[in-house]
Amino acid sequence: MRLFRLAKIVSIASRYGIDEMIFEHEPSGRLAALSRTVHFWRRNTLPRAVRLRLALEALGPIFVKFGQVLSTRRDLLPLDIADELAKLQDRVPPFSPELALAQIEAAYGRPASKVFAEFDATPVASASVAQVHFARLHAEDGGHEVAVKILRPDMHGVIAHDLALLETLAGLLEKIWSDGKRLKPREVVGEFAKYLYDELDLMREAANCSQLRRNFLDSKLLLVPSVYWDHCTTTVMVMERMHGIPISQTAALTAAGIDLPTLSRAGVEIFFTQVFRDGFFHADMHPGNIFVADDEVHHGKYVALDFGIVGTLTDVDKNYLAQNFLAFFQRDYKRVAMAHIEAGWAPADTRVDEFESAIRAVCEPIFDRPLHEISFGRVLLRLFQTSRRFNVDIQPQLVMLQKTLLNIEGLGRQLDPNLDLWTTAKPFLERWMKEQIGWRALVRGINQEAPNWARTLPQLPRLVHQALSREEASDLAPLLEELAATQRQQNRMLGLIAVLLATLLVVNYL
């Protein structure tokens, strides 16, 4: 089966001229010449990025998803390829109703009619990993309208085969491509495998959904569905059914009386709140995953869907971003360069002045442009590309943050072309930086550590006494024994020297 799959990959790669894209980077040039000779009849008129996208679509859903993940690595890819791969969509035919019902029975050990009062066997959405059906719970379970996400059958076997082939191709790229080692294709495949296997566990997605809902439980801007945990397994996820208008349907939004400029600013506010307040953000915010509520109670609120991919930021990440943003607003490019080196992401021997000059070339021109023309995501992208020249190791979570920010910018300016992202984001950035740096950070740190201090301080005298006692009983004894042994060795040496001197004196006297 793997050989058949490999043959299909080679055939499709040949059809779209993917071999040319790879072999042209082989240092000797012999493989590229051989490829042109073998495929003398082939005429590739489409741009290379378009050909790559079409090839991935022809190879099937796993390769489409790989292209989607690859498009987020703009720190590694040429821009034309990254932009084209971002157009990849999951156009996957749904699996049959019989298979969906069989998956439910396998998950619960009983048929769908026993689990749900109503179940629509026709899916409302279908993607590469799972598809969604609408249903209703039994009255004793609350009778709620729900959305049931069902994992595609036999996904683990399919993914294992395709990942093994991707790893083989990545290893081949490293050997024949001049930039292969720098682009780290095997690491990219490993990162993709992690995301993919995470998406195969729907309990993990349910947990992501629950966390985001808890973070925005009282929000006036965002709705997140509740999770029905009693009905969730690793292969089936049941959540509240959400109603609304897809955010890409701007005409329908306007007809529903929703103010688009206000909606665009709200989207930016939601994103920055997730990042700067919670350090936990929805990292797959393309238009297919976002609705806008049009009912009387929640009119104009965002509705988040699909929580398979989320991003998290540690305190180290936040401190890095705080230092960079603060220095950026003050045009202190040396501080930006130093922040990279101090974080250990740039080599310690990096020339600060050269790094500073490169960063200045990226950032300085944007301050002379109207704010609504500035792309925050593009600035981060150019910083990442500049950092690559200095062997800076860009962290995956920051790349995911930059990719999500590009999505938010594109979505916001689709709703309002004059969206001023900087002005909208500035209050959040300023409040966040004050919390990360300065007296607020000190107060927060004291509040966090106070319970530990309250527990530890009364024990301090006893702990000190125990430490000193242990040092006398155990730590000092070996030291004293070593000192005594050294003293004895010195005494023996002095005795030997005395005997030698006495012998010399006797000899001289005779």
151 strand-pairing partners: 130
Amino acid at 335: R
**Strand, helix or coil at 338?**
helix
Q: Spot the catalytic one: 19, 75, 162, 284.
A: 284
The predicted pLDDT at position 235 comes to: 95
Q: Does the pLDDT of residue 267 top 60, yes or no?
A: yes
**Strand, helix or coil at 236?**
strand
Contact 185, 174 (CB under 8 A): yes
Query: How many angstroms separate the CA atoms of 39 and 17, rounded?
Result: 9
Q: Does the pLDDT of residue 370 top 60, yes or no?
A: no
User: What pTM did the predictor assign?
Assistant: 0.73
pLDDT, tens digit, for every residue of 442-486? Answer: 676 677 766 776 677 676 677 666 766 665 545 556 655 665 666
281 strand-pairing partners: 311
Query: How many angstroms separate the CA atoms of 43 and 30, rounded?
Result: 20
Picking from 400, 366, 199, 364, the residue whose alpha carbon sits closest to that of residue 280 is: 400
Q: Does the pLDDT of residue 241 top 90, yes or no?
A: yes
The predicted pLDDT at position 142 comes to: 93
Question: Is pLDDT larger for residue 411 or for residue 225?
Answer: 225
Among 227-236, 315-324, 357-366, 495-504, the range scoring the smallest mean pLDDT is 495-504
Q: Does the pLDDT of residue 300 top 80, yes or no?
A: yes
Contacts of 143 (CB under 8 A, 6+ apart): 117, 136, 137
pLDDT, tens digit, for every residue of 89-118? Answer: 666 788 999 999 999 999 999 999 999 999
pLDDT, tens digit, for every residue of 139-175? Answer: 999 999 999 999 998 888 878 888 887 787 777 777 7
Q: Does the pLDDT of residue 7 top 80, yes or no?
A: no
Q: What is the mean pLDDT of the chain?
A: 79
Rounded percentage of the chain residues whose pLDDT exceeds 90: 25
Amino acid at 390: F
Q: How far is CA 289 from CA 245, 285, 421, 499, 502, in A?
A: 11, 6, 21, 94, 98
Q: Does the pLDDT of residue 253 top 90, yes or no?
A: yes
The predicted pLDDT at position 210 comes to: 97
Q: Is 409 left (phi over 0), alpha (psi -120 to 50) or beta?
A: alpha
Q: Is 395 left (phi over 0), alpha (psi -120 to 50) or beta?
A: beta
The predicted pLDDT at position 137 comes to: 97
Chain CA centroid to CA 119, Å: 35
pLDDT, tens digit, for every residue of 37-89? Answer: 666 566 677 888 888 888 888 887 778 877 877 776 665 677 788 788 877 76
Question: Is pLDDT larger for residue 83 or for residue 278?
Answer: 278
Helices 48-59 and 2-15 cross at an angle (nearest 10°) of 150
Contacts of 7 (CB under 8 A, 6+ apart): none
Q: Does the pLDDT of residue 119 top 60, yes or no?
A: yes
pLDDT, tens digit, for every residue of 405-430? Answer: 777 777 887 888 887 776 777 777 77
The predicted pLDDT at position 146 comes to: 97
User: DSSP letter at 303?
Assistant: E
User: DSSP letter at 39?
Assistant: T
Q: Does the pLDDT of residue 177 top 80, yes or no?
A: no
The predicted pLDDT at position 172 comes to: 73
Q: Is 284 a catalytic residue?
A: yes
